[in-house]
Chain A
Amino acid sequence: MAWQWFHRLGSPKWFYEKTTAWMPWLLSISLLIIISVSIWALGFAPMDAKQGNSYRIMYLHVPTSIVAMAAYYVMAIAGGIGIIWKMKLSNMVMKVAAPIGAVLTALALFTGAVWGKPTWGTYWVWDARITSVLILLFLYLGVIALQEAFSDQEMADKASAILSLVGTVNIPIIYKSVDWWFTLHQPASIKMTSSSIASEMLYPLLAMIIGFYLFFTWALLSATRSEILQREIKTKWVKQALLQKA
């Protein structure tokens, strides 16, 4: 059955048991990639002709920015699925995606500021992309605050799902508004057809993005797994699973 996997996903137990085997692999592969690429990018990738060594912060800035944005879509899509199909698991994914996304967004802003000083001459500009990423951080914080405010979990899930969906409608509008307003940020360097970045610099960047995506997947799954244990604490299978671990 084509839809069987989808319905199975609704079962926290099935999900928990299925992902147990993946966790150590995901963590070790992603850390391996991130650490080795860091050495490659910092030590061996060539220096940029104009920016010198300061461009190397790109290897942290670009992956965190990309994954921070992706995390919002994960959160909003999970929220939407939670509202439409009332799937328990997707509500949990939505809840745990928010803090992870917030941390990544904060990291993207910080690395951007550090990069901005040597290249643009200022830590902070009210530029279109920077401003919209800052607002993305506020949207994450709003979802987290809303989650925390409700004592009833079901209400908390519904409320934050509605807010993240409203935010999804707003993100392109906010982006376009501030873009119109002023932009200094360079256009994206990685394009599907031709990249405007030298290949010896591009490959470590692409590897880093893959590494960050894997690490994000690990963080998301492991946070979802602990959320499952917390919410299903009263069920038999959780007690058994915990006993087995002990």
Chain B
Amino acid sequence: MSSSLHSSNPTVGKAFWATLKRDLKIAIRHRGELANPLIFFLLVITMVPLGVSPSPKTLAMLAPGMLWVVALLATLLSLDALFRSDFDDGTLEQLLLSPQSSYINVMAKVFVHWLTTGVPLTLVAPLLGVMMSLPEAGYIPLLLSLLLGTGSLSLIGAIGAALTVSLRKGGLLLSLIVMPLYVPVLIFGASGVRAAIEGFAYNTQLAVLGSFLALAIIAAPLAIAGALKMSVNN
């Protein structure tokens, strides 16, 4: 490559913003799809009192774990679409060929996924907490743990999405390979909420979730970029 090409390169920040803005715009144009994980979240939580018991005591006991498990499943369902349309129309190939490090582009795409699924799921979780008779002490930890945890869920899940994007029927397979990797996030997310309800401090669990998120930010984009290159090159 000639040096003139290099000097016309946008900076790291600009490249990140460009991908971010583009993906956000696309997400906002498909508003209907944005609501799907939220509706799923709501529907499954509605099933719990109907299927288990409407007794507030039982629901309160189930609430932290149930809210976390269903938020995790909702994230999982939204993953398949993460790279799908960009893969189909060739955008992904262009993105990987661009002189910017694929690390930055991948980070921007996953960040948008978190903004459009993780954050909305976190925001509706307290409402669903009311439906699940979540005790008062549980709301703040639920919000904080989901906010930190869904970031890791998006990053880890994107690895699975990148691995299966070239497969026509990747949905179920995606869940199969991603779910075992979600275990630590689920354990600390739900146990933080439970600890708060039972009157314990929950800062340890939040610290662990934050640590997972920082680790995922470092390592996951490498695996995602590798997997995307594999999916695009063949």
**Residues of A with Cβ closer than 8 Å to B?**
83, 135, 138-139, 141-143, 145-146, 149-150, 152, 154-155, 158-159, 162-163, 165-167, 169-170, 173-174, 177-178, 181
**Are B181 and A165 in contact, CB atoms less than 8 angstroms apart?**
no
Judge whether B163 is part of the interface by a CB distance below 8 angstroms. yes
Most buried by A among B184, B208, B226: B184
CA distance A149 to B230 in the complex (A): 14
CA distance A145 to B176 in the complex (A): 8
**Are A159 and B227 in contact, CB atoms less than 8 angstroms apart?**
yes
CA distance A208 to B115 in the complex (A): 53
A-chain residues with CB within 8 Å of residue B215 when the two chains form the complex: 173
A-B residue pairs in contact (CB < 8 Å), sample of 20: A139-B180, A141-B176, A142-B176, A142-B177, A145-B173, A145-B176, A149-B173, A155-B230, A158-B230, A162-B159, A166-B159, A166-B223, A170-B181, A173-B212, A173-B215, A174-B180, A174-B184, A177-B208, A178-B187, A181-B187
Task: Tell me which of B166, B176, B208, B219 contacts A169 (CB under 8 A).
Answer: B219
Task: Tell me which of B163, B170, B212 contacts A162 (CB under 8 A).
Answer: B163
Q: With A146-B173, A149-B167 in contact, is A162–B226 under 8 Å at CB?
A: yes
Judge whether B143 is part of the interface by a CB distance below 8 angstroms. no
CA distance A178 to B223 in the complex (A): 24
CA distance A166 to B224 in the complex (A): 10
Closest CB in chain B relative to A69 CB, distance in Å: 15
Smallest Cβ-Cβ distance to A166: which chain B residue: B223
Smallest Cβ-Cβ distance to A165: which chain B residue: B223
Task: Tell me which of A138, A142, A154, A177 contacts B234 (CB under 8 A).
Answer: A154
Judge whether B144 is part of the interface by a CB distance below 8 angstroms. no
Q: With A138-B180, A149-B170 in contact, is A177–B187 under 8 Å at CB?
A: yes
CA distance A74 to B163 in the complex (A): 21
CA distance A69 to B208 in the complex (A): 26
What is the 8 Å Cβ interface bit string for chain B, positions 202-234, against chain A (1 contact, 0 not)? Answer: 000000100010010001000100110011001
B-chain residues with CB within 8 Å of residue A174 when the two chains form the complex: 180, 183-184
Judge whether B191 is part of the interface by a CB distance below 8 angstroms. yes
**Are A155 and B234 in contact, CB atoms less than 8 angstroms apart?**
yes
Smallest Cβ-Cβ distance to B172: which chain A residue: A145
B-chain residues with CB within 8 Å of residue A152 when the two chains form the complex: 234
CA distance A154 to B229 in the complex (A): 13
CA distance A146 to B176 in the complex (A): 9
Closest CB in chain A relative to B84 CB, distance in Å: 15
CA distance A162 to B223 in the complex (A): 7
Judge whether B188 is part of the interface by a CB distance below 8 angstroms. yes
Smallest Cβ-Cβ distance to A150: which chain B residue: B167
**Are A146 and B187 in contact, CB atoms less than 8 angstroms apart?**
no
Judge whether B179 is part of the interface by a CB distance below 8 angstroms. yes
CA distance A163 to B173 in the complex (A): 12
Q: With A177-B187, A177-B188 in contact, is A167–B167 under 8 Å at CB?
A: no
CA distance A46 to B200 in the complex (A): 48
Closest CB in chain A relative to B176 CB, distance in Å: 5
B-chain residues with CB within 8 Å of residue A181 when the two chains form the complex: 187, 191
B-chain residues with CB within 8 Å of residue A177 when the two chains form the complex: 183-184, 187-188, 208
Closest CB in chain A relative to B208 CB, distance in Å: 8
CA distance A155 to B166 in the complex (A): 10
CA distance A173 to B223 in the complex (A): 17
Closest CB in chain B relative to A217 CB, distance in Å: 27
Q: Across chains A and B, which 10 residue pairs bring their CB atoms closest together, nearest first?
A: A142-B177, A138-B180, A177-B184, A158-B230, A159-B163, A155-B234, A135-B180, A177-B187, A162-B227, A166-B223
Within 8 A of A (CB), among B151-209: 159, 163-164, 166-167, 170, 173, 176-177, 179-181, 183-184, 187-188, 191, 208
